[in-house]
Structures are given as C-alpha cells and as structure tokens.
A and B are shown apart, each in its own frame.
Chain A
Amino acid sequence: MNMLEIKDLSVHFKSRAGTVHAVEGVNLWLEKGELLGVAGESGCGKTTTTLAIPGLLPQNAFIPRGQILFNGEDLVKKTEKEMEKVRWKQISVIFQGAMNALNPLQTVGKQMIEPILLHEPHVSKKEAEERVKELLEQVGIEKNRFTNYPHEFSGGMRQRVMIAMSLVCDPELVIADEPVTALDVMIQAQILELLKKLVKKYSLSMIMISHDLSVLCELCDKIAIMYAGRVVEYGYAREVFTHPKHPYTVKLLHSLPDIYGEKVFINGIPGYPPSLITPPAGCPFCERCTERIPECGSRVPELVDLGGGHYAACCRQTEGRAVV
C-alpha cells in the first residue's frame, strides 16, 4: 500500500485579484522508504502541494476538493487538533531558508527538545536532551554545541540543525523544502550526502522540493515535475532524466548545462507560465509548447501511465504518439 496518496488535490488562494488556482487536480503517491523529488519553477505549486500534507498552508488558502491519504487516513478532513498529533511524530518538515527558520533568541538545544516534550509527554527532559545530542552527532555537529545560539553556526551547520530537528520525534515522512538552496556547492554536496545517509539509516520516506533538477537527480528514487499547479510528469528519477516524455520536462532538461555532454548552448523556454487566476482552458503548457496540436488548447490532459511506472500528462501521449 502506498504510504501517502494525494488524490485530485486542489489548493486555491483567496486574493484581491481573484482566486489563485495554485494547485489543480494533483495526483501523487509515495511508498514507504521512497524518496520523491518534486521539481518545478517558481509558482508551479510545489511548495503549496507539499505543505498541504501536514496542513501548513497559509490562512488565505483553502482546499476545494481532493484527498491526502496518509496510511489510509484523509488528512484534509482532520481538525487542527488532530493534525497536531500528526505533525512531528508522523510528518515533519525541513523548512526552506535555514538561515531564518531557527529562533535566534533560543539555544539550538532548547528549540530541538521542545517538540519532543510537547509531543511525547512521557519523555523526561534528560532523555530528550540525550536524543537531541545523539541526533546532532548524526548530522555532524559536536554534542557540546547543544547550548549554542543559531548565530554561532554557519549556514551549512544551521541546515544540519534543521535536518536533525526534523528527526527528533522519529517521523515516518520528512518533507524537505529546498534544503540546499542558498548554500554553496560544496556545502550542498555535503548536505545531500547527509540526507542520503539519514534516509538509509532511519529508513525514512522523504519528499524533497527543489527548483534545481540537478540536485534531485542523484538523490531521489522518483521524481514529479510540476508546471502551473499540475503534475506533468512522474516516474523513476533515472527514467525521467534519461527518457523524459513531457515536452516541458524535455525543455527543462535542455536548460541545464551538462559538462559531461556536448557543449551545445542551452535552450530556454520562451514565454512565461500562464496566470493562475484565469487558468487556460486547455493544457497549461500549451502556449509555450512546440509540440502543440489543436486539441491542446481545449483539453486538460490527465496524468496517464505510459508503462513501467512512468506517467505524463500530455495530449499527444494519450493519442499514442511519441513526444520525443
């Protein structure tokens, strides 16, 4: 059984300009122990989709339809009180921007034991401290830095603290929102190595969000590409990278320079994503797509299995024609 199943999820935002259809009919699923990468450009709904899982959407967001089944239970229907039990213990989040996600007025240790004391009342403070210290060592920070304040750590180390913190209540699923963005390449490589190690050690399931495809390609088992609030391609990471099926994925991969490949100038994707306040009637990528057929302008393609667990949402795919 899938540990997590997102079914036809839509998330809309109320705004002065109108309703923003940030996420529209998203289907995603994750098996236990898998590492799913969610990629896409700014505004594609990747953060909104994943933050809907632990119920951490902003005030003006609402979910008009859809289900988020976590171990068979629908998280959308749960009340705030019930969600509190899910957070940290079952699902935890590594937030974007480690620089600012920690409280500057509290020692790192104090911030880290807080969720344990809150969610596991039977655990004593001493036990909690022990657990936190062990986790700090796991992420490569000395035990005695337990009493340090966030400003005494570098950016990379703060990110390590955030990662350790997400594991304090031994969750089943960890959501990492852009865990290496804004870090230097060498620190990025260190953090990715660390995540790889932890996923193995604690047999975690993880969803990792990134706008940088190259970050995901070496780490993730599966990958979902999002565009304008929809999942356009989903499948095994290696398969998606080597045999992309959706024109958007193809173009996105061509936007990345590859030093192991031929030195051909990268191609961008001319144009801009559609407005999410007045979404187009057809395929959201239709306007920027070079493979467009008349049908694309009128029909929103569904995510269809193309065999081997590789899914794509493209009018030409369902027609039975190869895109690439």
Chain B
Amino acid sequence: MNLEKKTMGEKVQEQRSADRGKTIEVNDLYVTYNVRKKRKKAKNQAGDEECVHAVNGVTMDIRTGEILAVVGESGCGKTTLGKAILNIIRSSSGTIKYHGQDLSKLSGSQIQSLRQKMQLIFQDPYESLDPRQSVYKALEEPLDIHRKDMSPEQKKERIYKYLEAVGLHPAETMAQRYPHHLSGGQRQRLSIAATMILEPDFVVADEPVSMLDVSIRAEILKLMLDLQKGTDLTYMFITHDLSLAWLIADRIAVFYLGKLVEIGQADDVVHRCMHPYSQALVSVIPKIREEADEDKGHVLRGETPSPMSIPSGCCFHTRCWLYQEKGCPEVCRQKEPALVTVGGDHQAACHFAGPEEKGGDLHG
C-alpha cells in the first residue's frame, strides 16, 4: 500500500520554513464581461452597459512552491481568475505580477515566451485532448511552439521522459496511442504531461480531478504532488470541493461572487473559519464516519445572486445567516467589508468576522 504517512500539516511546516517569495501577485483585479454589447436595448436603467462582474477587486499573492486552492461555487469567478492570471482572459483593471513583472506591461511576444512558464491543466480530459492527435503529437506540439531550439532527438527524449514521469509506461507504446485508447485517468495523466513538458513553474489546475472516479482521483493528485517535489513549482488548484482543497493545499482562498471572502492556511480556513460563507460551506460537508447531526448547520437558502447585479455593501448579506442573526445590521447593506487579518496568516472579509460561537444556539 502506498500509504503516505506524512501529514499535509508537516508539509506545510516545511514550506513555511523555506519561504521562497511570491510567484504571483494580484492587486485589485477586476474582470468584467460585456454582454449583448451591440444591442442598445440591453442597457439597463442606469444607462450602463450590462456586464457580468466575474472577478471583483481581488488582491492576493500566490507564494512560490505552494499549493493555493481556490474554492467556491460555480459562477464565483474562480476559473476566470485563473485564466486572467495566465493572461488568457484580459483583465479590466488591476495588476498581475509574475515574479515581480507586471504582465500588462509586456508585449505579445514577451507574454508568449512567458507562457511556457505558466501553464494550465484543463478540467475535462475527455474534451481537452484532440482525438486526431496521437499521444506523441500531443506532447510534441507545445515543444514545437515554445522550444524551437530543441532538436527532434531532444524532443523525443523529453517526451519519453515525461510519459514515464506521469506513469504512462511503457513510453514507446503509449506514444503511439490515441486519446480514445486511453481511460479517463490516463487521459488526465496525458494532459498533465502536456502541461509539464515545458517545465513551467506556475500551473493553474482547473478542477483536474472532478471528472474522474474517486478511486482514480488520489493517483492523479499524488502525481501532481510528486511532480512538485524538489522543485519550485507552484499550483493554483481550482476546485469546488472544500474537503479536497483542505487535503492537498497549503492555503485556501474562498470566493463568493467574484470576491475573495477568506484566505488562510488550509487548516485555519476549514477548522477555524471566520467568514459566515466559509462556515456555511464547511457545515454542509457530510460527516462520513460519524453519526450525522439532525441539524445540518447552515444550509443557505436561495441561490447565488446574478453576477450582473451584485448586492450592495457586503455581496453575501442577502444569504448570510449571521446577518439575520445580528438583526440585519445596516453596515452589511451599506459598506463593503475589507479583507482584514483575523489571526496569523488568515484573512477574512466580513464586518463581523470571527470564530463561530460553539455551544451557542448555532451548532447545537
């Protein structure tokens, strides 16, 4: 059995001790999508063009060598943020720095050359691979684009090396295969190989295991961690699954309606969460091995408001259980809460951020 006894907590400790600076610095980033731009009728009452506010003033760092999990429900802007950082989507305002370099000040060709250092693992390995491309071709293509200096022999050597590294062996045989010959897990291994073959130091993994069966998941996650070992590789791990984020990430960032509501060490965000939204998310995680409580905690009513009309003040107040409990304070409707430090390496954006009072009438 490949039981990894070392807890993730120890791993975090190791990484803290070797603070290696910041790979990505995001400052006050906004991404808005205009919708129905050409039709005049689409203008709303205020006369502005209707737009989707996908990312709303996000400021955060991604530290070198860490795994930062970005967690939130669909439509919270987590994928948009990842793509904006990789410069696949243009941001509306704000800055993104990669190792201190402002990406918006770079020319197209400079971005192109940076792109091999910043890569993306896609969610669905059934759709992200070209069915007419052999495994070898799929891995050769990124090298053809970015590594024109490599000879065909060097490329071949590199491709075989990475096929073995991601567990697709024997490499010679696997290289001849096509995606339809591969199972879901093998396809995702191939996607990872295609991402890693350029030896990036920053990888955005967009729900890399959500399409896979649970028994396959662990292997893929383990592979991602193995590839990181002994390198400065930094992951931004996008997921909707908070318990998975807790398991593999060093830090977790929780998003709601395009805003960062809480960020901190994985254990802090899950076990000592300060924001009522994160507290609600944690409370709906099923207890697998324990007797289930009758009281489910905070199942939020209703649905996430449209990112086209974000509520005033704190964007969460329309669904917030704490807001109700506090007797609907005005400050929540009027003032947008800033991200404040709530302890150690832990920040939350809530006027009333604080640990949930245990033993009270909240959790029973």
Where the two chains meet, the residues of A that have a C-beta atom closer than 8 Å to any C-beta of B are 41-42, 154, 156-157, 184-190, 193, 211-215, 217-218, 238, 241-242, 251-253, 255-270, 272, 290
Contact = CB atoms under 8 A, between A and B. Distances in A.
Contacts of B8: 263, 265
10 contacts: A185-B240, A212-B214, A215-B286, A217-B286, A218-B286, A255-B217, A257-B243, A260-B288, A261-B288, A262-B7
**Across the A-B interface, the 10 shortest Cβ-Cβ residue pairs:** A268-B218, A269-B215, A257-B247, A189-B284, A265-B4, A41-B213, A184-B73, A214-B286, A268-B219, A255-B214
B58 to A, nearest CB: 20
Q: Which of B221, B241, B280, B303 counts the most A-chain CB atoms under 10 A from its CB?
A: B303
Given A188-B284, A253-B288, A263-B247, A268 B217 contact: yes
A12 to B, nearest CB: 22
B249 to A, nearest CB: 11
B60 interface: no
A184 B213 contact: no
By secondary structure, the B interface counts as loop
B289 A263 contact: no
Interface of B: 1-5, 7-9, 73-74, 183, 185, 213-219, 221-222, 240-244, 246-247, 267, 270-271, 280-282, 284-292, 296, 299-301, 303-304
A273 to B, nearest CB: 9
B226 to A, nearest CB: 11
B280 A251 contact: no
A211 B211 CA distance: 11
By secondary structure, the A interface counts as loop
B303 A214 contact: no
Nearest to A214: B286
A173 to B, nearest CB: 24
A270 B185 CA distance: 11
Q: Which of B73, B214, B247, B304 counts the most A-chain CB atoms under 10 A from its CB?
A: B214
Contact of B214 (A185, A218, A238, A252): A252
Contacts of B222: 265, 268
A252 B217 CA distance: 11
Contacts of B291: 238
B228 to A, nearest CB: 13
Q: Which of B73, B183, B215, B300 counts the most A-chain CB atoms under 10 A from its CB?
A: B215
Q: Which of B73, B218, B301 counts the most A-chain CB atoms under 10 A from its CB?
A: B218
A184 B240 CA distance: 8
B355 to A, nearest CB: 16
Nearest to B219: A268
A240 B242 CA distance: 24
Contacts of A217: 286-288, 292
Contacts of A212: 214
Nearest to A140: B301
Given A41-B215, A264-B4, A272 B282 contact: no
A214 B288 contact: yes
A241 B289 contact: yes
A252 B287 contact: no
B247 A266 contact: yes
B1 A267 contact: yes
Given A42-B213, A185-B281, A265-B8, 4 more contacts: A41-B214, A259-B270, A263-B8, A265-B247
